[in-house]
Amino acid sequence: MIDRLKKTKLNPTQVLVIGFLGLIIIGTILLSLPIASKPNEAGIRYSIGLLDAAFTATSAVCVTGLVVVNTLEHWSVFGKVVIIVLIQIGGLGFMTIATTLFMAIGKKISLKERLVIQEALNQSTISGMVRLVRYILAGTLIIEGIGAIFLTLNFIKDYPLMHAIGLGVFHSISAFCNAGFDILSTGSLSPYVHDWGVNLTVIGLIVIGGLGFTVWIDLMKITKLKIKQKFSIRHWFIKLSLHTKLVLVLTGILLGTGFVLFFLFEMNNPNTMGNYSFSQKILASLFQSVTPRTAGFNTIQLDQMTDGSKFLTIIFMFIGGSPAGTAGGVKTVTIGVLLFAVISVVRSKEDTEIFNKRIPDATVKRALAVIMISLFVVIGVTITLTITENFKFMDTFFEAVSAFATVGLTLGVTSDLSTIGKLVIGVTMFVGRLGPMTMAVAFAMRSDQRKVKIRKPEEKIMVG
């Protein structure tokens, strides 16, 4: 594939689209094999069918977690291995995996491939792409390995050693990649709703994966500098890049706000947390504030939540994680840029300023475009599902946002989707994983034309 990239006339975004489609097709073929499904009571294995196999493969590659059959009960060991491999490749990006494989056999990475990696990882510059891939792979293996060890130590209390190791590895990868696939029960992680070890480990993996690879590297670089030069925490924060500062601050605000609101909304709800102790409510609220960002695990019954919690979850799912990571959504930084742009307008400032830095107008316009395209997609999918399905509006809206933001949370309607509904949700997951801007550029008819610097006459219109 790498060699073909050198000869193709496709732009980087189109290569990404085709690459992810290729992964989904391979996953569909493998999951549709009878060996991927568990045998029935008569010991006979049947294919799940191309549609459901394609839906599952799309959900895995797009690290979403929406499923039409229970992952634990339906898939064989072979099927589960295929799913977790698709999750790993989908979470890191197929170009990251392909580049790693070709570096391992000594192949040189061309300029064309570096441009595709740059697009895949949402980087502003092409320099250091191969080095960045090495850091991402090493960091991922270390973090997932640590997560797998901690989870295994918790699962070993309930399962045999080898089974516990398998569960630890599977759920560590799924959590870090913000995929939300689980093989523990029919209720996601609900059997461990009060287990601090499992909850905190999964929370840590979700948050780290959702911060973004660029933030990792910046944090490590500045932290090493702090240890060497022994400056204060305040100076450590000042030396961080603007992107990292914005990600950390917004992530902290969202997690804190979500924790407080979920606690208030559900603390007296007998169908979710009403019967828990105070410490158990704290843990459940903390987990629920993290998982919509876009992990897809749950420890309480989502369909029994209050409408306030459901709507808050929808908002958090739409926002998602941060750029250049494993999470979906429109991204925290996108929301942050628009928020500060609004503040600048209210304060009558010409420029959008964040932490005493000026944000280019092109960045503000891109953020606005991402938000608007995303809203149009979600609205369009919701309207379509209200026509093709017979669900409550909240359930339909929740499902549409969950699919677009590649979250995987559901109010229990995924398995009841019609054929058209499955196709709509599948396409939505695909668009959400690649990003609305990537898809728009990939299919733009005039994306390769040179920009002509001609400004049209200006005329004022009324807004607001």
Mean of the per-residue pLDDT values of the chain: 86
Residue 92 has pLDDT above 90, yes or no: no
Residue 8 has pLDDT above 60, yes or no: no
Question: Which range among 63-72, 95-104, 307-316, 438-447 shows the weakest confidence by mean pLDDT?
Answer: 438-447
Cα separation, 307 vs 271, whole angstroms: 13
Give the per-residue pLDDT at 435.
76
Q: Residue 219's Cα: distance from chain center in Å?
A: 21
Give the per-residue pLDDT at 451.
52
* pTM, rounded to two decimals: 0.87
SS3 140: helix
Cα separation, 204 vs 423, whole angstroms: 33
The answer to whether the CB of 213 falls within 8 A of the CB of 103 is no
Residue 98 has pLDDT above 80, yes or no: no
DSSP assignments along 226-274, one per residue: HHHH---HHHHHHHS-HHHHHHHHHHHHHHHHHHHHHHHHHTT-TTTTT
Element (H, E) at 367: helix 361-388
Burial class (CB in 10 A: 0-12, 13-18, 19+), 462: exposed
Tokens of 453: 């610097």
Per residue in 181-235, pLDDT (tens digit) is: 999 887 889 999 999 999 999 999 999 988 888 888 888 888 888 888 877 888 8
Buried b (16+ CB within 10 A) or exposed e, 389-420: bebeeebbbbbbbbbbbbbbbbbebbeebeee
Tokens of 137: 């792979």
Higher confidence at residue 126 or residue 228? 228
